[in-house]
Amino acid sequence: MITRAQLEAREAATLAPYAALSRAATREHPERESDTRTAFQKDRDRVLHTTAFRRLEAKTQVFLSAAGDHYRTRLTHTLEVGQVARSAALSLGLNETLAEAVALAHDLGHPPFGHAGERVLNTLMAGHGGFNHNTQARRIVTELERPKSEYAGLNLTLDTLDGLNKHDRAGLGRPSLEAQLVDAADALAYTAHDIDDGLRSGLITPAQLCALPLWCELLGGAGLRGDTLTERERRTLHRRLLGTLIRDLTHASHAAIEASGVRRPEAARTFAGPLITYSPAMQERLRETSAFLRENLYRHWRVEMQVEQATRVLTTLFEALVNRPSMLPPTFRARAQAGDLPRAVCDYLAGMTDRYALDAHSSITPPATPTLWPR
């Protein structure tokens, strides 16, 4: 039977010198560590068992969950980010378990209806601190999830918590290399699967993608024309896209780390720039791809209709709950009575799945009445 001490020794012997080691991890609330799991393994497992993680299954990535069973949700996106992060971490000699823990937690704070829902909540919370899904993810694991009575939150290691501070880095230096890797894996995963879901849905066509240099390179490598694609060809190109991006990311990042002279995890945090990166050529390809998706998928009229639905549902619910907080469930009502009512309402709404938000909205709005319209 392998013990935690042996697992920690294995990390020290096999990981790169700039990788984070679980034996050096600390927590805000000291606790006895497992005999058989490292501190980062415990973090990963605690995230997996949260209510917030299970709810990701019914939260929008690009398409509402009701749009079809085969489109990515927040949960499948999170799992894909974890897979990419673990694969790249292994290649770079980084701590794959820390990368996985951060990846599984990174989207916990997303509200229903994807980025549209986030924009709506941020507008509604203007004057009350705003709303940001990264900040909300940290709030969930440090305050809102309460598996133990002794303290709020999951008591994750400071390494994992720091990995969730994606933007608010004042006084913190740069994130660990593992956290930088998750950030890159996040963008990589949604670039690849948004193209795949866009093609599957018909909102973008193979002919449109032929205008993208990155896509043309993939077509050439696969020996395909690309103006039309079979199901098998689409799957093949999705795999090739993932492989191309992961290879470029790992090779360019390895070269950047070697050139930097960084040999300790602390040195990566104080280095002048990010060390997890793509080659200059791939960075340009990704900028072109991002612009294409923004114009042709995220602003597609069918997606815009979902944005309008999100706006109406969340705005109606927010205003109703602020005006009548007695409709809040007991836990959130207690938080509202103890302090900030808008934040308690925001926490409640942000935790909803798409389905729950739609059901809650329908429960407080008048049912549609038949109209006497001439036939």
Burial class (CB in 10 A: 0-12, 13-18, 19+), 280: exposed
Q: Report yes or no on 354 lying in a domain.
A: no
Q: Report yes or no on 314 lying in a domain.
A: no
Tokens 């109606």 -> residue: 316
Q: Report yes or no on 370 lying in a domain.
A: no
DSSP 3-state assignment of 73?
strand
Q: Which pLDDT score is estimated for 372?
A: 56
Q: What is the CATH number of the domain that holds 232?
A: 1.10.3210.10
Domain that holds residue 196: 4-304
Which residues are 73's β-sheet partners?
Answer: 60
Instruction: Quote the number of domains for the chain.
Output: 1
Are 40 and 160 in contact by the 8 Å Cβ rule? The answer is yes
Q: ∠ CA 82-46-147 to the nearest 5 degrees?
A: 150
Are 350 and 314 in contact by the 8 Å Cβ rule? The answer is no
- The series of mean pLDDT values per 10 residues for the chain, 375 residues long, is 97 98 96 96 98 93 63 92 97 98 97 93 96 96 92 96 82 91 95 93 93 94 90 94 97 98 95 95 96 93 89 96 96 92 98 94 79 52
Q: Report yes or no on 336 lying in a domain.
A: no
* Dihedral (CA of 196, 200, 203, 208) sign: positive
Q: Report yes or no on 318 lying in a domain.
A: no
Q: 114 vs 8, 61, 128, 264, CA distance in Å?
A: 38, 5, 21, 37
Q: Which pLDDT score is estimated for 226?
A: 83
Q: Report yes or no on 369 lying in a domain.
A: no
Q: Report yes or no on 228 lying in a domain.
A: yes
Q: What are phi and psi of 60, to 5 degrees?
A: -65, 140
Q: Which pLDDT score is estimated for 233?
A: 94
Tokens of 46: 């605690």
Cα within 13 Å of Cα(46), Cβ side: 24
Under DSSP, the state recorded for 368 is P
Q: Report yes or no on 74 lying in a domain.
A: yes
